[in-house]
Amino acid sequence: MSLGFLSISAGATARSPLLDAALGGGARSEVRDGWEVVSSFGDPTAERSACIESVGFADLSHLTKLELQHDGARPFAAGEALRLPGGWRCPVRPRLDLLLAEPSAAAALRPGLEAEGRVCDLTGSLGALAIAGPLAREVFARFCALDLREGSMPVRGFRPGSVARTPGYVLHERPERFLVLFGAAYGQYFWEVVADAVERLGGRPVGTDSLPAIDEEPARA
Amino acid sequence: MSGGRLAENGGQRIRRGEELRFTFDGDSRVGLAGDTIASALYAGGQRTFSRSFKYHRRRGELCGCGQCANSLVTVDGAPGVRACGEPLRDGMQVEHQNAWPSLELDVMRATDLVGGPFTPPGFYYKTFIRPRRLWPLYEKVLRSAAGLGKLRRRQPEREWRTEYRRRHCDVLVVGGGIAGLSAALRAAQLGADVVLCDEDVEPGGSLLFEGGHERARDLAARCREAGVEILTRAPGLGYFDGLVPVWQGDVLHQVRAARHVAATGTLAQPLVFPENDLPGVMLAPGALRLAALYGVDPGRCAIAGVDDRALETALSLHRLGVQVAVVADLRPDADSELTAALETAGIELMRGVTPVRAGGSKQLAEVQVGPVDPSGRLRGSARRIACDVLAVAGPQAPASSLLLQSGARARFDDTLQSFLPQEAPPLIHPAGAVAGHADAESAMLSGAVAGAEAALALGFGEREDRDRLASERAKLEAEAPTVRRAAPPAKSHDGGRGKAFVDLDEDITAKDVAYAAAEGYDSLELSKRYTTVTMGPSQGRFSQLASARVLGEVTGRPLGEIGVTTARPPWTTVPMGALAGRPFEAAKRSSIHARHRDLGATVRWAGDWRRAYDYGDVEGETMAVHEGAGLIDVSTLGKLIVRGPDAGELLDRLYPNRMSTLKPGRIRYGVLTSESGRISDDGTVCRLDDDTFYVTTTSSGATAVERWFTWWMASWPELDVTLTDVTQGVAAMNLAGPGSRDILAKLTDADVSNEGIAYLDGPQLAIAGIDCLVLRIGFVGELGYELHCAAPQARGLWDAVADSGARPFGLEPQRILRLQKMHILVGQDTDSETTPYGANLDFAVKLDKEQDFIGRWALEHYEERPPAQKLVGFTCPGGEVPTEGAAIVEGDRVVGQVTSSRRAPKLESSIGLALVEPRLAEDGASISISDDGRRIAAAVQTRPFYDPDGELLRS
């Protein structure tokens, strides 16, 4: 495959662009699907509570991100992402979609996508942070001018735009949970910006295991 | 003299029994919970709050709502706090500012007593221009003499945290008076997402101190129930194409609304007469607020005004238990229900009179009132009225700054004697007093109309809501206000001495404005700039109308012709730090960055990246590349994937050379030019397969090249090609040096011999178990391999290569190494006029290729003519390293410029690149470099300083 060097190979562990910052903040990590993933910050109960009562943010940069350039009709509306098994298909431009998937689910998606158009692996190009909790929108309001109100950005809403003064994307994954994608080279900067906003609002960084599942009913404090 | 508190009433904010202790200039004071600093001081007998800006005159409470400069104090070390708007806190340390040695005895008062005639407007422009060399001294003295407080000395004490909050909403209501609350409630009831901001500590506006506090608080409660987000102590700072920054303490809300309701109300205006700045002369709403909200007894009051507001103020103060001595109404025929009520209350009403002088030493003791002629001069004799407070109710002026910033026009209304905003843009709905609906009932109705208009325009509401709006509009129009208001003179006076101020912030008198007009500054904008009138902390709230009246009088022009000055943000003074943003820099870092830190790298900015410049030993790192193997992180290079059957065709159209003829797995250098044939970027192109190319660009040019490609792809829709920027997703590192092949051999099973990977080959191999694209190129001039891999795995690759014997080297050694090879840095060794011919890149231009390409026309032209400048190498026999940018001269004539220069340890000489006139581009030509006052002799060299035939690269 001529673009194989863009993808994560089996020979070494992959590291998120946010990992150093997370480890510096007390993160505990383990290797999953070839990635060193932050599973917790040492207190899963408090982390889970933060996502229910205030806000938590977690590094999901290990998600596979595939760019699909195609010339077919899109099966879903502009500005609205399509839920796939283990992932999302997000419209960026009329002929360009971004596929997000757990690494374990990505391999199954890829053949179908390649039949549709040209696929390019952007996993390493984009960092990803989930921001979850009732104050998630307030967190975004601290560094992002996108209108993320429910009426403008309902669940499944997907929007490219400026996030923390850099080009990015925001996906409304479920009530009170957003996924923000940004240039991987901005990883440390992004961590600083989001941590600053979250901690000011009483939230905290959380491990991926503490995030509310996308398809789970929202819990209430 | 007055003092203490009035009896309790339902509208007061203070909580009696909850005492707060604070200090004022070190003296212990006591206030009540709910007080402002000013109300607590006033209740304790303090009348002088500050000294004025220029003349250091005593200044006291004026507006009572935090909008003037009279009550500026320093609180806990922070200067510029408005005492009449700042809630009192226990333990506060309040100090005066701009007076020395004390507020009571200020030696700079001499400027008022003796310096007045010598300090007309513009005196410092005229006085301090000679001798010029003394200006720095003058400036220092002037700056320390004037001023509005002193910043804390230590930087950490000056810092505080500002939160920035972006808020989208359907309707933003600016102003929380009855009109604003009514607008917000109606819009929210129709389903809109509404934000309301107000400057006071609670919404309600003048209702709160004019007897309508219950109604105001009920309305605010209903707004909250309807979901309105109410921001208090939160002025809207300006209007920026729909964005309204709202400053609330330590939070700057950036509110972007689909519709705006401007319910900003009106501003009480002062009257101009001698000594009108004495402590005790205050605006009527200021006196009312003190009495109604804080239960402060202001003492014996006189009221002066031009319309019914003076009468209403008198009655309100009387109801609150304040002793009202007299009401001086400029209208000779004032007669209404209010006049009867005054009579019933036993308050004397003087018709057709206005203040002509205030009297008192440290504070107001009396006011003289009498009839005046149209020029403001006293006719007959004045009557002296002993009083502690003169509450002035001049013509109300709409607080129209936001509306005017949004594009509305100000038109003078003779009846209202003020400038009314008109022709507001369609997305903005004026409501309440700012729109001319001053009384409570019509203000409330106009608010409801504005709120409904805003919400319905956004698609909220039903048919019946539209019908209701129509009937309310009709009712509002039918209730057009009938105001009877006298036009005050520009200045009323008794013919005696004394300063009559039009601007208390800047100490500008009516005489100053007339003086400036006589000097030719006879338009309001010029007068403003010459005298600084309206430029103080109040932003002209209380001085614009007064100064316009004076200018109108001295120039003989009507007020409508004088106009108003341009409304500019911010509406309220706001700390500069609040506008600065959080202290985070959007820096890019490679995925290996933390390892560079571990290795002790010197990290510096390179474009928008943070990069390792060196690891502490530039020479050692450079020599390691020559003698063994070095490793540098070049992840910052731009990287593009160009794919599709027409990918080669696209590149042929963008580059001057042929890319479509590249074989898969091979690399070619390419230079990009603009349509005018000037170099814009350069890099390599590697063909990955028949339809896929991997393009690298310079680090700083990555974004521009991606946009350049995208632009042209949009122009050539017939090409089946796609582009993906993978700059941040692919890490790259250059393994270079004679030992690099051996290191590579340790990390892969592939054949890495010169036959296995030849110069300009681009195979894909697993290196240390990581899939890599290996580009055999040689920017640093030694045998080298650029290893490109997925960024998340790059640190593992770096560690593996370094552990195998490659020494990390930074950007600075790389610059030395590439300079030895005369490899250019676009932007440093080229400028906006440099063509490939001027940069010795003729080999990269193929004018014989069949495709048209960007810049072809220009390059055909330049091929036939020598370039204006040519890039050459030079050596400095004396060993000097000239400054980059230094001029190359012949006598006094500049004939070129140094673009790069370094000392090369391998060559043990000083080398560089320069753009020179073509006649000098000969081997051995002598050139002279003028560098910071010295002349450096240098010799031109046209071939690379190191490995000129490229044998090492190809070995």
At B476-508, the pLDDT tens digits run 999 776 778 899 999 999 999 999 999 999 999
Query: What mean pLDDT comes out for the span B747-763?
Result: 97
Question: Residue B225 above 80 pLDDT?
Answer: yes
Q: What is the pLDDT of residue B313?
A: 97
User: Is pLDDT of B533 > 70?
Assistant: yes
Strand partners, B386: B366
d(CA B668, CA B661): 10
Mean pLDDT of all residues belonging to chain B:
95
Domain segments of chain B as ranges: 1-155, 163-267+397-478, 270-394, 501-577, 637-726, 856-954
- Burial classification of residue B87, based on how many CB atoms lie within 10 Å of its CB (0-12 exposed, 13-18 middle, 19 or more buried): middle
Q: Do the chains contact at B584 and A4, CB–CB below 8 Å?
A: no
pLDDT at res. B416 = 85
SS3 B70: coil
Q: Tell me, what amino acid is at A104? A: S
Query: What is the distance between the alpha carbons of residues B653 and B641, in angstroms, rounded to a whole number?
Result: 16
Question: Is pLDDT of A75 > 90?
Answer: no
Return the DSSP state at B87: B
- Residue of B754, B753, B751, B761 whose CA lies nearest to B786: B761
Q: Which residues of A touch B709 (CB under 8 A)?
A: none
Residue pointed to by tokens 């009498």: B370
Identify from A2, A118, A153, A181 which residue to disrupt to test chain B contact, counting B C-beta atoms within 10 A and taking the largest count: A2
Q: Is the pLDDT of residue A220 over 70?
A: no
pLDDT in tens, B676-690: 999 999 999 999 999
- Residue B266's pLDDT is what? 95
Query: What single-letter DSSP state applies at residue B146?
Result: S
- CA–CA gap between residue B167 and residue B523 (Å, rounded): 40
Dihedral of CA B226/B231/B233/B234: which sign? negative
Q: d(Cα A142, Cα B277) in Å, to the nearest integer?
A: 44
Convert A7-20 to b/e letters by CB count within 10 Å (16 or more is b).
bbbebbebbbbbbb
- With bands split at pLDDT 50, 70 and 90, how would you rate the model's confidence at A1? low
What SS3 class is residue B930? strand
**Residue A73 near residue A120, CB atoms below 8 Å:** no
Q: Per-residue pLDDT tens for A152-170?
A: 999 999 999 999 999 999 9
Taking the CA of residue B218 and the nearest CA in chain A, the distance in Å comes to 28
Q: How many CA atoms lie within 13 A of A37 on its CB side?
A: 19
**Burial track B618-633 (b if 16+ CB lie within 10 A, e otherwise):** beebbbbbbebbbbbb
* Position B470 pLDDT exceeds 90: yes
**Per-residue model confidence (pLDDT) at position A72:** 76
pLDDT band at B542 (very low <50, low <70, confident <90, very high): very high
pLDDT (tens digit, 9 = 90+) per residue, B250-288?
999 999 999 999 999 999 999 999 999 999 999 999 999
Give B902-912 pLDDT, tens digit per residue: 999 999 999 99
Among A11-25, A181-195, B119-133, the minimum mean pLDDT is found in: B119-133
Tokens of B258: 């689909």
Q: What is the largest CA-CA distance in chain B?
A: 114
Q: Which CATH number does B637-726 carry?
A: 3.30.70.1400
CA-CA distance, A206 to A189, in Å (whole number)?
Answer: 18
Three-state SS at B259: strand
Task: Check CB contact under 8 Å for B688 and A6.
Answer: no
pLDDT per position as a tens digit, B399-414: 999 999 999 999 999 8
How would you class B86 by CB atoms within 10 Å of its CB: exposed for 0-12, middle for 13-18, buried for 19 or more? buried
Binary contact (A147, B168; C-beta < 8 A): yes
Q: What pLDDT sits at residue B123?
A: 82
Identify from A5, A60, A70, A139 which residue to disrupt to test chain B contact, counting B C-beta atoms within 10 A and taking the largest count.
A5
Name the CATH topology of B856-954. Answer: Elongation Factor Tu (Ef-tu); domain 3 (2.40.30)
Could B796 and A144 be called an inter-chain contact, meaning their C-beta atoms sit closer than 8 Å?
Answer: no
Structure tokens at B682: 């350069």
- Which residues, in sequence order, are CB contacts of B565 under 8 Å at separation 6+? B524, B525, B528, B534, B540, B544
Strand partners, B916: B870, B896
What are the phi and psi torsion angles at B221 (to 5°)?
-65, -40
User: Cα(B883)–Cα(B867) distance, rounded to whole angstroms?
Assistant: 24
Q: Which amino acid is at B156?
A: P
Domains of chain A: 13-62+125-210 (3.30.1360.120), 64-121 (no CATH)
pLDDT on residue B2: 47
Q: Which residues pair with A159 in a beta bridge?
A: A170
Tell which residue, B560, B522, B549, has the closest CA to residue B272.
Answer: B549
Beta bridge partners, A100, equal A65, A88
B147: confidence class by pLDDT, cuts 50, 70, 90? low
Residue B117 pLDDT > 80, yes or no? no
> pLDDT class for A215, splitting at 50, 70, 90?
confident
Using CA atoms, how far residue A38 sits from A214, B589, B635, in Å, is 18, 20, 25
| pLDDT given at position B122 | 84
Q: What angle do CA A88, A89, A93 make, to 5 degrees?
A: 145
Query: What would be the CATH architecture of the domain defined by B270-394?
Result: 3-Layer(bba) Sandwich (3.50)
Phi-psi region of B402 (alpha: psi -120 to 50; beta: other; left: phi over 0): alpha
Could you give phi then psi for residue B18, rounded to 5 degrees?
-105, 90
Task: Tell me which fold the domain B1-155 belongs to.
Answer: Ubiquitin-like (UB roll) (3.10.20)
Q: Which CATH architecture has domain B163-267+397-478?
A: 3-Layer(bba) Sandwich (3.50)
Is a pLDDT exceeding 60 seen at residue B520?
Answer: yes
Tell me if A69 and B724 make a contact (CB, 8 A cut-off): yes
Asked if A151's CB is within 8 angstroms of B164's CB, the reply is no
In angstroms, rounded to a whole number, what is the distance separating the alpha carbons of residues B177 and B496?
42
Mean pLDDT over each residue of chain A, to the nearest integer? 93
Distance from CA of A189 to the nearest CA of B (A): 6
**Whether B730 contacts chain A with CB within 8 A:** yes
Single-letter amino acid, residue B201? V
Could you read off the pLDDT of B18-51 as tens digits, one per residue?
Answer: 999 999 999 999 999 999 999 999 999 999 999 9
ipTM above 0.90, yes or no: yes
Interface of B with A in 165-204 (CB under 8 A): 165-168, 193
**Tens digit of pLDDT for each residue in B303-361?**
999 999 999 999 999 999 999 999 999 999 988 899 999 999 999 999 999 999 999 99
The pLDDT assigned to A221 comes to 44
**Cα(B779)–Cα(B733) distance, integer angstroms:** 12
Residue A43 corresponds to which amino acid? D
CA nearest to B768 within chain A: A11
Tell me if B1-155 shares its fold with B270-394. no
| B733-745 pLDDT, tens digit each | 999 999 999 999 9
pLDDT at B733: 98
Count CA within 13 A, CB hemisphere, residue B270.
Answer: 32
Looking at residue B177, what DSSP letter applies?
A: S
CATH number for B501-577: choose from 3.30.420, 1.10.10, 1.10.3470, 3.40.50.
Answer: 1.10.10
Is B925 within 8 Å of chain A by CB?
Answer: no
In this predicted structure, the answer to whether residue B467 has a pLDDT above a threshold of 90 is yes
How big is chain B, counted in residues? Answer: 955
Cα atoms in the Cβ-side hemisphere of radius 13 Å centred on B36:
28
Expressed in angstroms, the distance from the first to the final Cα of chain B is 101
Q: What is the mean pLDDT of residues B457-464?
A: 97
Question: Rounded to 5 degrees, what are φ and ψ at B156?
Answer: -60, -30
CA gap B424, B660 in Å, rounded: 60
Q: Using CA atoms, how far apart are residues B859 and B862, in angstroms rounded to an integer?
A: 5
Asked if A5 and B796 come within 8 Å (Cβ–Cβ), the reply is no
Contact assessment for residue B246 and residue B197, using Cβ atoms and an 8 Å cutoff:
yes
Q: Could you tell me the CA-to-CA distances from B950 to B304, B435, B436, B774, B777 in Å, in that order?
A: 94, 80, 83, 20, 11
